[in-house]
Structure 1
C-alpha cells in the first residue's frame, strides 16, 4: 500500500521505522517542528531526520489544516494514513481522504486514557495494565473503531520510564500486523466500536501536574513519584520556599497522624512525610521519601537532606511562612 505518515517524537519515529521495515511504500511524512515544551523535549527522536535519510518527502507543520497540506496528501495518493503522536486534531477532509482512511496508533488501552500522556496518568491512577491501540480515526479524538490492542502489565515498582520502553516496543508489531490485515482485506469484521461509556480523556501535562498535594493518600503520591521518573520533570514540593524534587519514595510501614506535609520521622532508609485527606486520624500511611534533588541539581539521600525533623514540605512556596517552621 501507499502510506502517508503523520507523527512526532519517538512514537512517530518508531512508527515510521516500522513502515520502512514493512515493505509498504511511504509517499509522504508530516511532522511537527522541534518544541521547547518540557514534555516534548523528552523521547524526541526526529521523524523528519529519519524521513530525509530515506529520501521521503517531509513537511513540518504545527497544524495540518492548510491547503498546502491537503494538496500534498492528495498529490501523494496514499491508500492509508498512519498517525502516531500527531499533536493536533486532523480535519475529516484529511483523515477520510485515503481509501482506507487513517489508522491512529495510541499509547493507551482505549477507550480509557484518550488524549495526552496516557502512561503517566495511568500509573498515577494505579492501573494494572497499559498498552497500545490501533484504531480508525474519526471526528472525535482517539474515539474510532479499534482494530488491534496489545497490553503489558504494570509492576509495583515500575516507573513511567519503564512503561515507556515496554510500550514503545509494541508499536512496530502493532503497525505491521494492522497494515497486513488491512492490505489483505482480513480486517473485515475485526473492527470493534469503542464503549464510549468507559471513555476518559486527559489533557497535556505541565509542570503544575508534577506538584505534590500532600492531602493525596501516600499510595497515590508514591505512584506520582514513579510516574514522574527521570527524564520526566520530577514530582516536587517546596521546603522553606525552595523547590525540592522527590526522586524516590515509598509508602511508609507505620501509620502517622498530624498535618499533611509535616516532616515527621525517620523510618528505615528514608524520612516520612505525613500525607492523606484524613491525616489527622493517624490511620493512614505517610510518604517515605528516600531521595531528593535540589534546585541546583544536587541529589541527596533524604536522611542527609533532612538533618532534623519538623517543619513542612508545602505545595506552594509561600505557605506556611518560613517563620512558622
Structure 2
C-alpha cells in the first residue's frame, strides 16, 4: 500500500513519538513544521523545540514560520502537495486554506476521549477533575477547537497515583499507535468519520495562576487531584509565612472527617505533615519552598521548624 506523503506539524515532546513512528514506518515526511526557537533558561539562549531536535536527527526539512497565515508559508506547503497534514500540539490555529490543502485532510492527534476535554490542557484537567479514564482521539480537523469528525479513539485508565507527567508519557506513546492505525485506514479508504456531539462536550482551558492556588477549604480529594494534575508543571502552590510554597506530592489520610481549621497542621509524620482541609485531611510528602529546590516534606518540617498548629494560607 502506498504511503501517504505527509507534512508534520508539532512542537513539544508529546508530538515526538508520532514523528518517530512516521519515519520508522516509512512515510515520506516532506517537511516538519514547528515553532520558532525560543529563549530558554537563565542565559536566555535560543532553544530548539523537541520536534525540531527529532527532525534534525532524521535529517528532515524544517519550517519554522512566525505566522502560518502568511502567503509565503501557504505557498511552501502548497508546493509540497501533501496527501495529509498531521498536527499534534503545534501551537497555532491553522487557517482554512491550509486545512483545505491536503487531499486526505488535516489529521489531529488529541490527548482526550473527545468530545470530552476539548482545548489546550486535556491531560492536566483530566487529572485535576479526578477522571479514571483518558485516551487518544484522532480526528479530521476543521475550523473549530477540537470539533472535527473523529476517526479512532483509544482509552487508557488513569491510576490513583498518576500525575500529569505520567499520563502524558502514556498518552504520547498511545498517540503514535493510534496515528499509525489511522493513517493505514485513510490510505485503505476505510477510515471511519464520526461527528462529535457538541452537547456532550467539555473543555480543558489554559491553566492560569488562580487554577494553581490551593484552597484549603476544598475537600482533601480535590486538593490531592490538583497537586497530581499540576505535577510536573506548573505546580500547585499555597503560602506559608507569606512566602510561596509549592506542593508536589500528597497522600489522602482521611476523605471525610470534619475539620475545624482548613490549612492547619494537625500532625507531624515520618514522611511529612498532615493538614486539615475543608473535608478530610491530607499528608504533604514533597514540597518546594520559595527560591529553593524540591524537598521531602519531612526535611521541610525540620528545616523550617514547623509545629502542630502552624497554618498554610
TM over 0.5: yes
Number of residue pairs matched? 299
Residue 46 of structure 1 is matched in structure 2 by 50
Cα distance in 2 between the residues matched to 1:285 and 1:37: 41
Shift of 1:273: 2.0
Residue 198 of structure 1 is matched in structure 2 by 200
Residue 158 of structure 1 is matched in structure 2 by 162
Quick one: which of 281, 284, 297 aligns to 1:286? 281
Shift of 1:51: 2.1
Shift of 1:185: 0.6
SS of residue matched to 1:168 = helix
**Using a 3 Å threshold, how does the CA distance of structure 1 residues 251 and 298 change in structure 2: closer, same or farther?**
closer
**Using a 3 Å threshold, how does the CA distance of structure 1 residues 165 and 19 change in structure 2: closer, same or farther?**
same
- CA-to-partner distance for each residue in 1:111-133, whole Å, 9 max, x for gaps? 11111121111001011111111
Quick one: which of 203, 208, 221 aligns to 2:223? 221
Shift of 1:267: 6.0
1:116 correspondence with 2:116: no
SS of residue matched to 2:246 = strand
Cα distance in 1 between the residues matched to 2:274 and 2:61: 55
Cα distance in 2 between the residues matched to 1:164 and 1:119: 7
Shift of 1:57: 2.0
Residue 273 of structure 1 is matched in structure 2 by 275
- CA-to-partner distance for each residue in 1:94-145, whole Å, 9 max, x for gaps? 0121111100011111111111121111001011111111000011011101
Cα distance in 2 between the residues matched to 1:126 and 1:298: 24
Residue 295 of structure 2 is matched in structure 1 by 299
1:22 correspondence with 2:25: yes
Residue 67 of structure 2 is matched in structure 1 by 63
Shift of 1:205: 2.1
Aligned residues of 1:13 and 1:45 also touching (Cα < 8 A): no
**Using a 3 Å threshold, how does the CA distance of structure 1 residues 255 and 36 change in structure 2: closer, same or farther?**
farther
CA RMSD of aligned residues (A): 2.1
Shift of 1:159: 1.5
Shift of 1:29: 1.5
Aligned residues of 2:245 and 2:289 also touching (Cα < 8 A): yes
SS of residue matched to 1:120 = helix
SS of residue matched to 1:297 = coil
**Using a 3 Å threshold, how does the CA distance of structure 1 residues 223 and 306 change in structure 2: closer, same or farther?**
farther
1:185 correspondence with 2:180: no
1:86 correspondence with 2:90: yes
Cα distance in 1 between the residues matched to 2:305 and 2:183: 55
**Using a 3 Å threshold, how does the CA distance of structure 1 residues 218 and 62 change in structure 2: closer, same or farther?**
farther
Residue 41 of structure 1 is matched in structure 2 by none
Cα distance in 1 between the residues matched to 2:266 and 2:27: 61
**Using a 3 Å threshold, how does the CA distance of structure 1 residues 83 and 298 change in structure 2: closer, same or farther?**
closer
Cα distance in 1 between the residues matched to 2:305 and 2:139: 49
**Using a 3 Å threshold, how does the CA distance of structure 1 residues 90 and 37 change in structure 2: closer, same or farther?**
farther
Shift of 1:209: 2.7
- Per mean C-alpha deviation after superposition, the further-off stretch among 215-224 and 291-300 is 291-300
